[in-house]
Chain A
Amino acid sequence: MIIGQRKPLKRIFEMLDPYDRILIAGCGSCVTVCMSGGLKEAEETAAVLRLHRQAEGRPVEVRARVVERQCEPEFLETLDADLPHFQVVLSLACGVGVQRYSLFRPGKLILPGLDTLGSGLPVRQGLWEEVCLGCGDCLLDQTAGVCPITRCAKGLLNGPCGGSRNGRCEANTENHCAWQIIYDRLAARGELNLLEEYRPPKDWSRGHWGGPRRLEREDMPIV
């Protein structure tokens, strides 16, 4: 799932400062699950925005809505009836949703209400962690199902740096050293020999660094 967190309220208030008819659009998928951009969060954001503007003596009309997925036009269409009334939309979707909406309704200003944190998963109640960078050349078969490109702060492919301490990352001690996890998992499987293989430099052109990627299926379009 895509994880994201709401932008600081101060930043949201600044972005919305020139407007007084605002639609806050939540997204019912990933960001609802990570509790940052669903209907509940849209309503909360609307409430604090109203309070803020009341305190400033500049009342504002805010409505909170949610669609199933903002990355697909079919769902965004369900907001069309309300759209003309509002000057601006604050989208609580990930960066994909914001761009989709913006492209779908070019005449309307769509502002981002979240900071997208990438592809992650829930680790425990209330904690999500980024685990996949979408490098375009998956190597999880070699690393016991743990991605060192994403989960090692240096993205090292041939083993750990010398900086981890007690199994924690030198860059952020809240994170486990990805290579310690890989080692433990391979040891449990009796596959430590995998660690002795040289991993050549990665072909980053298959990832974002080769430019934005496309997925095209020629068999798909219906002419």
Chain B
Amino acid sequence: MSKPSNLRKVLEAGHFAVTAEVGPPRFADFAPLRQKAELLRRYVDAVNITDNQSAVARLSSQACCGELARMGIDAVFQVTCRDRNRIAIQSDILGAVAQGVRNILCLSGDHQRFGSDPQAKSVFDLDSVQLVRLAADMTRGLFPGGRKMEVSLEAYVGAVVNPFADPVDLQVIKLKKKARAGARFVQTQCVFDLERFSRFMERVREAGLDREVGILAGVSLLRSAGAARFMQERVPGVTVPEEVVRRLELAPDPEEEGVKICVETIDRMRNVKGVAGVHIMAIALEERVPEIVRRAGLFPRPDPAGQALGPVSCREGNRVDQG
């Protein structure tokens, strides 16, 4: 018996959700992934696996999510439109769900121009809204075009939104389309500019979207002023205010300052109406996530991503609500 999405349970129960993400290695071994996932196990509700993030070829997201599922950890399978057409996407979704993966996060994907293979031919057969619809249809037992699946699959379908991209109207409209297409949760681009994020959330609430999808605000751990500057200048879609960079510049221990910024951001997110949780992005610093979750007062989790007892412990009857 496969267990259902833990993230879904947490959000539907009205708890403030916590997810984190892990980037797969650039070699064929699950060891680093397992190690990072073990660190996160009791501190988050689900673990995202990025899909060749920044267009750098890595151990496949589907394979890594399968490994997390075997570890009893609720995985969020990130799927981009950049590298696969609709045939490969259907196949990978079937593959992930067959391995026990229960969350699918649909993204466009960073352009390949700045990745490991800038000469690659990109795919973009579907866009992210169409991908949400395809995944949501599969949970209703339908292939694209309405053909019936023999057995429908169980998955919690999510999407992303960037509160900082221009024009903001269009981001809200696109979020609405994603919700209508079947997205039930949303993870946002990293938030550093809280004012601007609050304005975005106002728009989201006006459109009633916070009631249709569980919105997890993206929180990123910056290790240094240099890292902040890099994000500010080089990472598409990320806005880092100058005062954040200055704080890291002046701090005696920049990484500790980064953790503080994370914890403060999470604190403020908990008071933004319509925010249902946080998604912590601490690529290469996953070991700091447990501390961030503790300091933000979000530990213990109501239903940790991977309880030590494995799949059985997550069956509805055994669920112990600690939150």
Q: Residues of A at under 8 Å CB distance from B?
A: 153-167, 170-172, 177, 179-180, 183, 192, 195-196, 198-201, 204
Contact = CB atoms under 8 A, between A and B. Distances in A.
Contact of B110 (A156, A160, A167, A170): A170
B150 interface: no
B111 A153 contact: yes
Contacts of A167: 166
Contacts of A164: 165-166, 236-237
The 10 closest A-B pairs by CB, nearest first: A162-B162, A163-B236, A170-B236, A158-B129, A171-B111, A159-B174, A162-B237, A156-B127, A161-B108, A162-B165
Nearest to B125: A204
Contact-residue bracket for chain B = 35 or more
A163 B126 contact: no
9 contacts: A153-B111, A154-B108, A154-B109, A162-B162, A164-B166, A183-B170, A198-B129, A201-B125, A204-B125
Interface in B117-157: 122, 124-130, 133-134, 144
Interface in B29-72: none
A198 to B, nearest CB: 6
Nearest to A171: B111
B161 interface: yes
A172 B160 CA distance: 22
Contacts of B110: 163, 170
B170 A198 contact: no
Interface stretch (B175-183, B209-217, B273-281, B305-313): B175-183
B113 interface: yes
Contact of A163 (B111, B169, B173): B111
A199 B122 CA distance: 20
B53 to A, nearest CB: 13
Contact of A179 (B124, B128, B170): B170
Contacts of B111: 153-154, 163, 170-171
B260 interface: no
B97 interface: no
B108 A195 contact: no
Nearest to B111: A171
A166 B124 CA distance: 23
Contacts of B81: 154
A200 B82 contact: no
Nearest to B118: A171
Contacts of B167: 180, 183
A160 B165 contact: yes
Nearest to B81: A154
A158 B177 contact: yes
From B109, B130, B181, residue with most partner A Cβ within 10 Å: B130
B170 A159 contact: yes
Contacts of B122: 154
Contacts of B109: 154
Contact of B170 (A154, A157, A160, A171): A160
A162 B124 contact: no
B270 interface: no
Given A154-B81, A183-B169, A198 B181 contact: yes
A197 to B, nearest CB: 9
Contact of A154 (B127, B134, B144, B180): B127
Nearest to A157: B127
A180 B108 contact: no
B168 to A, nearest CB: 11
A177 B109 CA distance: 16
Given A156-B124, A159-B170, A162-B161, A201 B130 contact: yes
Contacts of A180: 166-167
A162 B160 contact: yes
A208 to B, nearest CB: 13
Given A172-B113, A201-B144, A160 B126 contact: no
B236 A158 contact: no
From B108, B122, B176, residue with most partner A Cβ within 10 Å: B108
B223 interface: no
A198 B81 CA distance: 17
Given A162-B237, A180-B166, A201 B174 contact: no
B160 A195 contact: no
Contacts of A172: 113
